[in-house]
Structure 1
Amino acid sequence: MRKITRITTQKKNSQRYNVYVSEGEKESFGFGIDETILIEFQLRKGMELDEATITELLKKDIVYKSYLLAINFLSYRMRSRKEIHDYLLQKEVEPEHISMILDRLSNENLIDDRQFAEMFVRTRMNTSSKGPMIIKKELMEKGVAPKLAEEAIQLYTYEAQYKKVIKLVQKKLQQKRKDSFRKQLQNVQGTLQQKGFSQDIIQTVLDESRDGKDVSEEWTAIIYQGEKLLKKHSQKLTGYELKQKIKEGLYRKGFTFELIHQFVDEYDKESDHF
């Protein structure tokens, strides 16, 4: 048996204590302990401790220190159960202790994958341009069960997706005005698919964009692209061969046959390239 001779507060952490013990007449440092464990076991001067009790004390202290690591990790933002598990594992916490800590956090309502998933979806909706499929994938990568992820993603309503996609389409079309409208739509469609929006909502918005197509901007775009092709090929080609080369190049860039012929006819009249 060991008898507690004194208990002192640690200099660097007022929440932790040094416990000194004696065996016979000689005093020595016994162990460091957190205030919570100190109170739980009602440690005091003169109390006798056997080896089994000391072992239990030290184990609980280790678990509590790991618990505080998790609390600190949670202080920055809400976490999924898997995120905390992986973090504690990285900190070399014993798997047995991790399970105990996760259960405690769950009982204290400090972790809840359902609440985490809902918060995560809302945050992504408000702060990113990602679609529901990408967000759901991210949730599952964070260890959220597929069922919970599917339920949470319902918060990303069709109306919210529509508004997001409309803004993305308008932005992309504005950035690529010098491309053909068809190429612009192809590019924006690819972008929206990569961002995780469904084909249904993509198609709806693209169809609406086609209906609102600006003919004058398309003519401006074909002039820009056509003149680039003329500059590139007119030094080596003339006449029929140059016309065909320009037509092929503009078609690959997504312009309609009607607009291509109009461009070529206009330049045939006004220049000596052809």
Structure 2
Amino acid sequence: MKVLRVGPPSGRWHHRRVVLDGGPTLRLRPEDVEALGLEAGADLSEDTLRQLRSRAEAALATEMALRLLAVRLRSRRELEERLRRRRIAPEVVGGVIDRLTSEGLIDDARFARAWINSRLALRPSGGLRLRGELLRKGVAPEVIEQALREAFSETDEHQLALHVARSRARRYRAQPAEVAYRRLAGVLHRRGFSPGAIAAALRAVLGRAVVTE
């Protein structure tokens, strides 16, 4: 197969379009074009063609990952899953994720801190819920624990639970006492607050605590 044309760097990612004779137009990073020695009129061996296609797929995966990261920070596993859903080859996904990690663009510790801070600001939750959310996103337990320690060294979980309890208790003023206790306890439990924080909040807001499972 022959290269018909190699375009100049263009677009946000400065990729170059490589037009092949009888094949698709591929987009590659400038350094990949140089490494493969691609130029108009060049005949491609089977090995070079395989490398070209692999590097084009990696360029596409990198662009997709960077677009996702531009929206918000994401964990390594989140990005891996999103790229694999687009049918990017697993070995290409792994290489791209490793490179972005080495460049500091993917950092699970930074992601965990940002996730916790966002949750505490927008939807106050306890450590149990935050831990579960981050585990589902593939963050390592030790990374989660460090991020939680940092967050709750500045924010008191009992005070957060009390804030949520006070804001929600207004809804249950007309309810029988036992119903109000159960519903408010359920809210705090679903938010992932510890049993101790729930009991303290219920005592402060409703006058006594109830046991939650």
- For normalisation by structure 2, the TM-score amounts to 0.80
1:164 matched to which residue of 2? Answer: 160
2:106 aligned to which of 91, 101, 111: 111
Is 2:76 the counterpart of 1:81? yes
Contact 1:16 1:32 in 2 (8 A): no
Q: Deviations over 1:214-237 (max 9, x none)?
A: xxxxxxxxxxxxxxxxxxxxxxxx
* Matched AA of 1:106: T
Is 2:25 the counterpart of 1:32? yes
Secondary structure, in 3 states, of the residue corresponding to 1:110?
A: coil
2:118 matched to which residue of 1? Answer: 123
Residues 170 and 44 of structure 1: CA distance in aligned 2, closer, same or farther (over 3 Å): same
2:138 matched to which residue of 1? Answer: 143
* Cα distance in structure 2, aligned partners of 1:199 and 1:134: 13
2:171 matched to which residue of 1? Answer: 175
1:17 matched to which residue of 2? Answer: 17
2:66 matched to which residue of 1? Answer: 71
Contact 2:36 2:48 in 1 (8 A): no
Q: Deviations over 1:65-119 (max 9, x none)?
A: 1221111122211111110111111001111111111111111111111111111
Counting matched residue pairs gives: 204
Contact 1:6 1:45 in 2 (8 A): yes
Instruction: Report how far residue 3 of structure 1 moved.
Output: 6.3
Contact 2:3 2:18 in 1 (8 A): no
Secondary structure, in 3 states, of the residue corresponding to 1:193?
A: helix
* Matched AA of 2:61: S
* Cα distance in structure 2, aligned partners of 1:48 and 1:101: 28
Contact 1:81 1:102 in 2 (8 A): yes
Is 2:96 the counterpart of 1:96? no
1:43 aligned to which of 28, 38, 47: 38
2:6 matched to which residue of 1? Answer: 7
Let me know the Cα RMSD of the aligned residues: 3.0
* Cα distance in structure 2, aligned partners of 1:131 and 1:19: 54
Residues 45 and 91 of structure 1: CA distance in aligned 2, closer, same or farther (over 3 Å): closer
The answer to which structure, 1 or 2, has the higher relative contact order (CA under 8 A, 6+ apart) is 2
- For normalisation by structure 1, the TM-score amounts to 0.64
Q: Deviations over 1:126-181 (max 9, x none)?
A: 01132221111000000111221122122134843233222222223222222344
Unmatched tracts of structure 1, length 5 or more: 21-27, 213-274
* Cα distance in structure 1, aligned partners of 2:50 and 2:183: 65
* Cα distance in structure 2, aligned partners of 1:102 and 1:116: 15
Secondary structure, in 3 states, of the residue corresponding to 1:17?
A: strand
* Cα distance in structure 1, aligned partners of 2:130 and 2:154: 15
Residues 109 and 158 of structure 1: CA distance in aligned 2, closer, same or farther (over 3 Å): closer
Secondary structure, in 3 states, of the residue corresponding to 2:25?
A: strand
* Matched AA of 1:32: T
